[in-house]
A and B are shown apart, each in its own frame.
Chain A
Amino acid sequence: MSRRAEGGKVRAAVRRGAVWFATFAVASVTFSTSALAHAGSLAGSLRSVPAPFWLVVVSGGGVVCVSFLLSAFVTDDETLDAFERAGVRIGGLAGAVATAEAALKLLGVAALVLVVAFGLFGPPVGIANLGVLLVWVGWWAGFAMVAYLVGNAWPLVNPWRTLGAALRGRFVAGGRLLRPYPDRLGSWPSVAGLLGLVWLEVVSPLAANPRALAVVVVAYSLGTVGGAVVYGDAWFRRADPVARVFRLYGLLAPVRRGDGGGISISVPGAGLARSRERLGADDVAFVVALLWVTTFDGLVVTVAWGRVLDAAAPVPAWLANLVGIVAGFLVFLGGYRLAARIARGTADTYVTVGFVAGWFAPALVPIAAGYHLAHFLGYVVGLAPALVAVAASPLSPPANPSVLAVPAWFGGLQLAFVVLGHLLSVWVAHARAFDLFPGRLQPLRSEYPFVAVTVGYTMASLWVVAQPTVGGVAG
C-alpha cells in the first residue's frame, strides 16, 4: 500500500472520529431531555395520556428519521457485511430435519382435518370452537409470529402442499393434468388472492361463525390442492398467497434452512438484506399488498373506519370495504413506485425504476411484521388460555373459556413494535443500497425517498394502532 493512501486513511479516521464526537455530543445533550418525553409517552399511550398523542406520533417518525441519520455513519463494508453474514451454521442435522419434516407434515394435515371437522360439526360458538381458535389464534396470529420471529416452517407444515404432492404423485402416471405454471400470470394471482382473503376475513363472520369458516377452508383447500396438482410447487412459489406471505416472513426470521440441508442462524433481517432474488413488478405488488393488508386489518376495527362506513351508508359495507382495500392498495403501490422513481433521481443513476423498486421491496417486510406483531400479540396472549382450555376438551368445551385481559402497558409495547419494525426496515434498506450502488455517497442518497416514505408510514401506523377499536378480542 502506498504511503499516500496510508496518509489518506489516517486523515479519514481522524475525520470520522471528529464527526462521531460531534454526533454524540449533540445526541447526549438532547437524549437527556427526549428520554423524559419517551418514558411519559410509552407509559400512557392509550389511556390517561400524560403526553399528547400527536407527540407520540411525531416522536415515532422522529426516531425513524434519526435512525437513518445515524446509519449514514455506517458506510464501511466490513460492518455491513458482518450484519449480512454473521451467524452460525448447524450442519449434520439432516436426520433430525427429515424426522421433523415427516412430523410437521402430519401435524399440518391433522390440523386441517380438525379445523374442517370442528368447523362443520363442533360447537357453533366461535370462542368455544377448536377449529376457529386453531385458525385465528394458533395459525393466522401465532404461527405467523413464529414465522418471522423464529423461522418459517410453513413449507413443511403446509397441508395443501403435502396433499397436493401426494395426489400429484398419483396423476404423474396419467400425466394429462400436469402443466407448467403460465409465466405470463407472474405472481399477480397471489396479489389478488391476498387482497381477496383479507377482504373476505373482514366482511364475513369467519371469526365468529365456525360453519362459515369451514366452508371457506374447504373451498380454499379445493382450489389450492387443485393448483398444486396441476402446477406442482410452482403454485406455492407464485400463486398461493399464504405460502408467499410465510416465505417473506421467513426471510426476516433468524433461523433459516441452509443451502446444504442444515440450519443457519443469523441476525434478524439478514436474510432480507442478503436476498439476491429479482423481484418483478408483480412481486413488488405482493410485498406492498402484504404491508397494506396488515394495516387494513387493524384499520377496519377502529371507530374511525366505522364512521367512514356510516358516511358511505347507502353503499353496503362489503362493497365499501372492497373499494377501501383496493384503493388503499393502489395508493400504497403508487406511493412506493413514486419513491423508487425519485430514488433514481436522488441517487443519480441509470438503474431502472423497476429494478430500484424491486431491490428495496424486501425492506418493507419488517414493517409488515412489526405491525402484525403489534396487532396480534395481545390477541394471542389474551386468547391462548381459551385455546388451551378448548383443546383440552374439544368435544365438550367450557361454555365460557377464560380470556386474559391484557394490561394497560401493552399499548406502549404495541407502539414499540411498530417503531422497531420501521427501524429494521431502514437498516435493511441501508444494507441493500450499499450492495446496489458503488462508493458510499450514492447508496446513502438513494435511500432518501424510502426513508421519507417510512417516516410517513410510521406515523400513520402509530395512529392506527392507538385508535380506539370496536368489539372485543374475540372479534
Chain B
Amino acid sequence: MSRGASRGVSHEESVVVPETAVLDGETAAATCPYCDRPFRRERLRDLHVGDAHERLSDGEKAAYEAAVEAEDEDLFIYHLKVAGALGVVFTALFLLAVVGFSL
C-alpha cells in the first residue's frame, strides 16, 4: 500500500511544495510529472510521486515499489550504522564519566 493512500483523499492537497532552484548549466536528474519538483536522483522522484500524488499510472506504481524496496536495503545498512554510532557515543560518554569521576 502506498504511504500516501493511508492518509486519505485530502492528502494531496496537504503536500508541501517547496521552493527549488536548479543552477544554470545544471539539469535535474528527474522531475515530478505532477508538480514539476526537480530531484537529484530518480529514486527520490519515484518515492516522491508515490508519497505525494494519487491516481498513479502502472509504471509509476511499479517504480515507486521498486524505489521503496531499494530504500529498504539502504535503510537497513543505515540503521546498522546508527546502532554502531549509538555504541560509540555511549562508550565515549562512559569513558568520559570514568575519567571525570576519577579526577
* Residues of A that sit less than 8 Å from B by CB: 1-2, 5, 8, 11-12, 15-16, 19, 22-23, 26-27, 29-31, 33-34, 36-37, 40, 50-52, 54-55, 58-59, 62, 65-66, 69-70, 72-73, 75, 77-78, 81, 276, 348-352, 354-355, 359, 435-442, 444
Contact = CB atoms under 8 A, between A and B. Distances in A.
A112 to B, nearest CB: 40
A22 B18 CA distance: 37
B65 interface: yes
Interface in B47-83: 47-48, 51-52, 65, 67-69, 71-72, 74-76, 78-80, 82-83
B12 to A, nearest CB: 14
Given A69-B89, A354-B19, A439 B76 contact: no
Contacts of A34: 90, 93-94, 97
Contacts of A2: 65
A330 B48 CA distance: 36
Contacts of A54: 100
16 contacts: A30-B91, A37-B100, A58-B96, A59-B93, A59-B96, A62-B92, A65-B89, A72-B82, A348-B44, A349-B20, A352-B18, A352-B19, A352-B20, A438-B48, A441-B74, A441-B75
Contacts of B92: 62
A66 to B, nearest CB: 6
Given A19-B80, A23-B83, A348-B40, A52 B19 contact: no
Given A23-B86, A69-B82, 10 more contacts: A12-B76, A15-B72, A54-B100, A69-B86, A70-B86, A77-B3, A77-B6, A276-B14, A349-B44, A355-B18
Nearest to B45: A438
Contacts of A70: 86
Q: What is the size category of the interface that chain B forms with chain A?
A: 35 or more
Interface of B: 1, 3, 6-7, 14, 16, 18-22, 28, 37-41, 43-45, 47-48, 51-52, 65, 67-69, 71-72, 74-76, 78-80, 82-83, 85-87, 89-94, 96-97, 100-101, 103
Contacts of B41: 348
Contacts of B3: 77
Contacts of B97: 33-34, 36-37, 51, 55, 59
A449 B53 CA distance: 29
A444 B85 contact: no
A72 B38 CA distance: 25
Contacts of B93: 30, 34, 37, 58-59, 62
A281 to B, nearest CB: 12
Contacts of A440: 71, 75
B72 to A, nearest CB: 5
A350 B40 contact: yes
B21 A438 contact: no
A22 B80 contact: yes
Given A37-B101, A62-B89, A22 B83 contact: yes
B69 to A, nearest CB: 5
Contacts of B96: 55, 58-59
A441 B71 contact: yes
B79 A73 contact: yes
A30 B72 contact: no
Contacts of A65: 89
A444 B85 CA distance: 14
The 10 closest A-B pairs by CB, nearest first: A30-B90, A438-B48, A55-B100, A439-B47, A37-B97, A438-B47, A355-B19, A19-B79, A350-B20, A26-B87
B52 A438 contact: yes
B26 to A, nearest CB: 9
Contacts of A55: 96-97, 100-101
A349 B21 CA distance: 9
A81 B7 contact: yes
Nearest to A66: B89
Nearest to B52: A438
A93 to B, nearest CB: 25
A26 B79 contact: no
Given A19-B76, A51-B100, A436 B89 contact: no
A444 B78 contact: yes
A25 to B, nearest CB: 9
Contacts of B101: 37, 40, 50-51, 55
Nearest to A85: B7
B19 A8 contact: no
A52 B100 contact: yes
Given A23-B83, A55-B96, A439 B71 contact: yes
A8 B78 CA distance: 17
